[in-house]
Amino acid sequence: MRQSITLLSLLLLTHLAPARAWRDFNPDIARVSAAGGGTVVVPAGEWETGPIHLKSNIELHFEDGADVLFTDDLEKYLPAVEISWEGVECLNWSPLVYANGATNVAVTGRGVLHPRMGRWAAWMWRGPDQQAAKRTLFEQWGEKDVPLAARDLTKIPESRFRPPFVFLKDCTDVRLADFTLRHSPFWCIHLFQCDGVDIRRVTVDAHMGNNDAIDIESTRNVLIEDCTLSPGDDIVCIKSGRDRDGRRRARPTENVVVRRVTADSGHAFLGIGSELSGGLRNILMEDCAMEGTCDYIFRLKTTPTRGGFVENVTMRRITAKHASVNAIDFNTAYYTDAASVVKTEVAPTTVKGVHLKDISVESAERRVELRSPPAWPIEDFVIDGLKVHRTSKPDVIENVPVRELPVTGSARPADFDRFWADAKAKYDREVPVDVKLEKVGSLSDAEEDVFKVTVTSPPG
């Protein structure tokens, strides 16, 4: 989890925000929808509002210069609405932009949307009450098929479940384009059980904990192009439900294409899971650039209780500056909690057809860390053309039958200057005085070092 904006700074941002004209956009949306649909325009200017609920055949268009601040007054976010919270369906405070069951819905325009962050920032710190509420959600409601109407998180005192910024549920023909999200209570853009999603030229700048930029959950036929994403957590994450709740719905995420996305921070550039119990297939990310530092370029994470499947995932032609942990990571025991009451015996997540090709990273702690128990069902896991120019730790591969993993580009440590000094000292101690080793700087480059060895006749 990455976090670059402190609680204090977020509280100051909220405290210093000037007074704005209040505007409720929902009556305009209802009126236009009742008339058969159309565009609701948010004009240029500084506005404050509550949650916006979209309806079918509505385009909500923010004019260039529209600056919309969302209140953190909890009463405005009631009644509770249906969402998915970390892979389990429930009722919670309304997301800031929300739709449920809408067809032909769009959010467009060059406006800037941001929340008052005081309450949401304070809620980020998960005390014992919130941890207990999470156990209720995950281990009771989700695992025991409690009816959705009885899963109301707002009824649990001090539960503090932050809502996502944009959450669309069971929608078809969705278009998101050109707007900017700045800060977010929780996940930034979350598509749940949607079909036909087009996301283009969206900017996300949100650095609090759990600020995933885009989460695609149990959703199919998605195109994400030309976005600029700077989140505090995963950049693009693919999910399909948590444990029994996800297996009950059995709604895989499938047919997702991500192209020309630029990011400069985050956790995983492409994250798979860990909530993938409904399965996922046909995921492609290509021609994207990480221009700053993230923890992982590719990360696939699951647990023994998830089940589900991962099929046909391709990540290719990726450039990245820095991965603070591993360039490529595969983990079958993500946040495994020995105290959890979820002990369901399920078949392990099957992994078939993961192809990671032509990924170039300037530096990482490790190139790859791939771990699974023996006999975990993994097939056709290919890493081809991975170049990590500087690393400080060796590869780790345990029980993962990876193919075509090259070694080029991983020999030079990140702390090369110290490495070189140690190497010269070693040669001074162990090699006769008539052998001289020199690095030829004019011939060396980021991928390869060239050395000159000079041998002279020993004295006498």
Q: What is the pLDDT of residues 90-107, one digit of tens each?
A: 999 999 999 999 999 999
pLDDT of residue 1: 35
Question: Of 214, 239, 96, 88, which Cα lies nearest the Cα of 162?
Answer: 96
Give me 136's structure tokens. 């209720």
Its domain, for residue 433, covers: 417-455
Q: Domain check: are 407 and 428 in the same one? A: no
Task: Measure the CA–CA gap between 291 and 263, rounded to whole angstroms.
Answer: 6
In a domain, 131, yes or no: no
In a domain, 367, yes or no: yes
**DSSP character at residue 241:** B
Helix (H, G, I), strand (E, B), or coil: what is residue 16? Answer: helix
Q: Domain check: are 429 and 302 in the same one? A: no
pLDDT of residue 345: 74
In a domain, 28, yes or no: yes
Task: Measure the CA–CA gap between 75 and 387, rounded to whole angstroms.
Answer: 52
Task: Measure the CA–CA gap between 261 and 237, rounded to whole angstroms.
Answer: 13
**DSSP character at residue 242:** -
Task: Measure the CA–CA gap between 107 and 92, rounded to whole angstroms.
Answer: 22
pLDDT digits (tens, 9 = 90+) for 137-176: 999 999 999 999 999 999 998 889 999 999 999 999 999 9
Which pTM does this prediction carry?
A: 0.86
Task: Measure the CA–CA gap between 32 and 39, rounded to whole angstroms.
Answer: 8
In a domain, 129, yes or no: no
> Is there a contact between 300 and 327 (Cβ–Cβ < 8 Å)?
no
Containing 189, the helix (H) or strand (E) segment is: strand 189-192
Number of C-beta neighbours around residue 156 at 10 A: 15
Q: Domain check: are 315 and 341 in the same one? A: yes
Could you give the residue numbers annotated as active site? 233, 267
Q: Domain check: are 94 and 26 in the same one? A: yes
In a domain, 137, yes or no: no
> Is there a contact between 265 and 230 (Cβ–Cβ < 8 Å)?
yes
Measured over all CA atoms, what is the biggest interatomic distance in the chain, rounded to whole angstroms?
Answer: 103
* Residues shown for the chain: 460
Q: Domain check: are 443 and 318 in the same one? A: no
Q: Distance of alpha carbon 320 from its chain centroid, rounded? A: 16
Q: What percent of the chain has pLDDT over 90?
A: 77
pLDDT of residue 157: 80
In a domain, 259, yes or no: yes
Task: Measure the CA–CA gap between 166 and 192, rounded to whole angstroms.
Answer: 11
pLDDT of residue 282: 98
E-state strands within 260-303: 262-273, 280-301
Q: Domain check: are 421 and 411 in the same one? A: no
Q: Would strands 81-85 and 88-92 be described as parallel, antiparallel, or unpaired?
A: antiparallel
Q: Domain check: are 251 and 391 in the same one? A: yes
Place of tokens 């492409």: 270
Q: Is 144 left (phi over 0), alpha (psi -120 to 50) or beta?
A: alpha
Q: Domain check: are 342 and 440 in the same one? A: no
Task: Measure the CA–CA gap between 51 and 272, rounded to whole angstroms.
Answer: 29
Task: Measure the CA–CA gap between 323 and 266, rounded to whole angstroms.
Answer: 10
Q: Domain check: are 437 and 340 in the same one? A: no
Task: Measure the CA–CA gap between 186 and 323, rounded to whole angstroms.
Answer: 23
Task: Measure the CA–CA gap between 143 and 147, rounded to whole angstroms.
Answer: 11
289, burial (CB in 10 Å: exposed 0-12, middle 13-18, buried 19+): middle
Query: What are the residue ranges in the chain where pLDDT is below 50?
Result: 1-16, 338-339, 409-414, 459-460
Q: Domain check: are 229 and 298 in the same one? A: yes
pLDDT digits (tens, 9 = 90+) for 62-77: 999 999 999 999 999 9
Q: Domain check: are 219 and 197 in the same one? A: yes
pLDDT digits (tens, 9 = 90+) for 349-370: 999 999 999 999 999 999 999 9
Q: Domain check: are 292 and 270 in the same one? A: yes
Count of domains for the chain: 2
In a domain, 136, yes or no: no
Q: Would strands 451-455 and 435-439 be described as parallel, antiparallel, or unpaired?
A: antiparallel
> Is there a contact between 227 and 201 (Cβ–Cβ < 8 Å)?
yes
**DSSP character at residue 153:** G
The CATH number assigned to the domain holding 249 equals 2.160.20.10
In a domain, 256, yes or no: yes
Number of C-beta neighbours around residue 408 at 10 A: 12
